[in-house]
Structure 1
């Protein structure tokens, strides 16, 4: 199009930027940015929103903010792009600051604005901020919106208020598959597997069609609550009853469930039959279960597979060494840690965040 001398319009540039963002190709996005500047479209609201989205998805939030703050006019799409971009890059506290600024500029948030900021509150585990947003949602008349309602349920569950989420769930006049999934997953996250399974059966009874995410949620609940037989029954019903073929996440849940229950023989049979033997997640789940039940032989197999797949992942070394230590097999534990040291494998630090009256504080464990 450029070689033929055809000038791009705002739609051309926005679509091309969206394609660059989807592929995560920063260089292409920068070239289109230059073309938009040359065509005097870089300050156009439509194009600028696409530029913000492209830079955010490529991890360049400072550039996205630079474009945002240089715009002469802002609409709700621009604000949404900026807030979503910050959230995408785990800058959730800053995203919440932008959301407040959006309100201060008397810009009415859309469903997407609220769903995005509720996701930020969930990731920050900040029920205080989440409740503030809920109040604004009610005031702005979006409380009956299915999209926003599902995000609200997810926020309350991730902040530990499962009963509050369920109360809101029961009040919703219309529900989508996403809504059901959020509530089932919320029960699973908070160790209330029996209620998750009951809600799953309610979903089936209501003629709502479960999808792959539904099964991940309910199988996770079965795994975390020791409902092994219920999980196997639901897993076996996926294909022939609901037309959903099991994928890696579903196999992981069942392997985890069998491992937690110490049913390693069944887990190994499933491992040998499934098509995901070269995925490290499966072996990590199995290794964690072996630690709980002190199954050294299977733990060694799982650790060897993990080290083969990713020699610089610290998890198999640490877990296997801990298994040996718990059994008093100090020489073998030391050998694993020496192997880890020789290969220069470094364990990632852990982080904690505490919310208190005047703000938040983060800490790192070496």
Structure 2
């Protein structure tokens, strides 16, 4: 028989049961949090606009996972996608209760890609101050920000850091280093980084090819491409754009068409950058009609597309088509940039349209707030010189808000030669030679002006002075693309080289 104390003693649950319930409760909490994170991650990823994204963010703040690093990082990406990097995404990052390397990389990457490279570099410095070490994904982001911003010294220091920690042999970092050095024209440094890599992926190969193409070293660009073919590297859109750039620089119409065929046969599609590159190569290689067909078939066009087509028409003397296309562009609410106006001004130069050139220069400054560069002023001087407004062109140069360069004076000197303006030519050549005394073209133009005015002794005096100064004019040449091979043959003084 049980005693009273025994019967009144509270019944204890077995220890194993309590342990099981504790773990079950913890498991349910973890499962619940994981489900919430998954739910909100999906909602954030599918948010169609900024207003809905902000509503999801507001609801997220009332949940137990409001400070989750993954969700906050996803919020930063989505705010940036909806053009609200500032203030929403950046403020969110600043107030995150916890940050890891992933969240730092996200904000640095978004800042760099969204046109805030300086802020990206500042954020990287703050990251280092917080004792967070960069990883192999951080370094390429910062190197590209340095390249975009034109900051060579910080990029060099970062390269030293990469060497110190042993990350410079990583393909992601190496590709960024090659891009960085190529951007600054330091192609030897880029080549050294490339050559030191024992393993190379298609991104690294493509970056090296693009670097050579951008600085105009076509022979080395083609050499890299041949090596890529031998290594059976995948050809993507970036490779094709680089090849088209090489073709446009060399005037290789046939090879440009071949690249176009490879794109079609390889089902690469016609994205914006490829279409723009095709317009450029066809325009520069004497096929504006094909360029226009590519332009008309584009589903999407940006200011580069319009500018390339306008410049192509201007280059081939189709001034009316160029200016009509410029007006059509404005009708489509596309804002022109300085390159677009340069194409329009070049068209005016070829057609001798002085009033129109003045109109576009004024529109550029007054309506769109784009400050003209020296090349824009040179176009107006050129067209005035061509139609005989020599003195007006000289006055215009004197009233320019920037100091004229050799191209501006050279344009006026060309007009002086066409219209035999000896006195103005003498004044202009003195100014031009003060900027570049070794430029043979100035001496030759002045000698021709004297000769056409019948002042042969003065012309001979200029040529003698050239010999004394050892100024040599490079011979002109014509380039033709042969049908049977890929060589570019040049003809100079009647000799094929």
Given the two structures, how large is their TM-score scaled by the length of structure 1? 0.87
- Residue 452 (structure 2) aligns with: 326
1:298: how far off?
A: 1.3
Q: Which moved more, 1:172-181 or 1:276-285?
A: 276-285
Alpha-carbon shift at residue 117 of structure 1 (Å): 1.6
Question: For 1:144 and 1:233, how far apart are their aligned partners in 2?
Answer: 36
- Conservation of the 8 A alpha-carbon contact between 1:222 and 1:228: yes
Note closer, same or farther for the CA distance 1:221–1:54 as it changes in structure 2 (3 Å cut): same
Q: After the TM superposition, which residues 1-366 of structure 1 pair with which residues of structure 2 at under 5 Å, given as runs?
A: 9-10=135-136, 14=140, 19=146, 29=156, 35-57=161-183, 61=187, 64-65=190-191, 67-103=193-229, 105-356=231-482, 357-363=484-490, 365=492
Partner SS for 1:242: coil
Which residue does the alignment assign to 2:89? none
Q: 1:118 to 1:298 in 2, by over 3 A?
A: same
Q: CA deviation at 1:82?
A: 0.8
CA distance in 2, matches of 1:70, 1:63: 11
CA contact (8 A) 1:142 1:148 kept: no
In 2: Cα distance, 1:237 partner to 1:365 partner: 42
1:24, 1:243 → 2: CA distance? 26
The question of whether the paired residues in 2 share the 8 Å contact of 1:321 and 1:337 is answered with yes
1:269-327 per-residue CA deviation (whole Å, 9 max, x = no partner) reads: 32222123432211001001111111111111110110122222222111101111223
- Aligned residue for 2:446, secondary structure, equals helix
Listed as ranges, the gaps of 5+ residues in structure 1 are none
SS in 1 for 2:479: strand
Aligned with 1:191: secondary structure? coil
State whether residues 422 and 449 of structure 2, in contact with CA within 8 Å, keep that contact through their aligned partners in structure 1: yes
Distance 2:308 2:276 in 1: 6
For the residues of structure 2 that align with 1:199 and 1:54, how far apart are their CA atoms?
A: 36
Residues 32 and 350 of structure 1: CA distance in aligned 2, closer, same or farther (over 3 Å)? farther
Cα distance in 2, alignment partners of residues 57 and 208 from structure 1: 28
Q: Conserved in 1, the CA contact under 8 Å of 2:422 and 2:453?
A: no
Decide whether the 8 Å contact of 1:26 with 1:55 is kept in 2: no
Change (3 A) 1:204 1:17: closer
1:104-129 CA-to-partner distances (Å, cap 9, x unmatched) read 54544343322222111100111111
Higher relative CO (Cα under 8 Å, sequence separation at least 6) belongs to: 1
Q: CA RMSD in A?
A: 3.1
Query: What SS does structure 2 have at the residue aligned with 1:354?
Result: strand
* C-alpha distance in structure 2 between counterparts of 1:310 and 1:288, whole Å: 16
Aligned to 1:41, what secondary structure does the other structure show?
coil
Q: Secondary structure at the match of 2:278?
A: helix
Once the two structures are superposed, residues 211-251 of structure 1 have per-residue CA deviations (whole angstroms, 9 ceiling, x without a partner) of 11111001101101222232222223223333333332221
The structure having more radius of gyration, on CA atoms, is: 2
Say whether the 8 Å CA contact 1:351–1:362 is kept in structure 2: no
Distance 1:243 1:26, change over 3 A: closer
Instruction: Return the offset for 1:133.
Output: 1.1
For the 8 Å contact 1:153–1:169, the answer to whether it is kept is yes
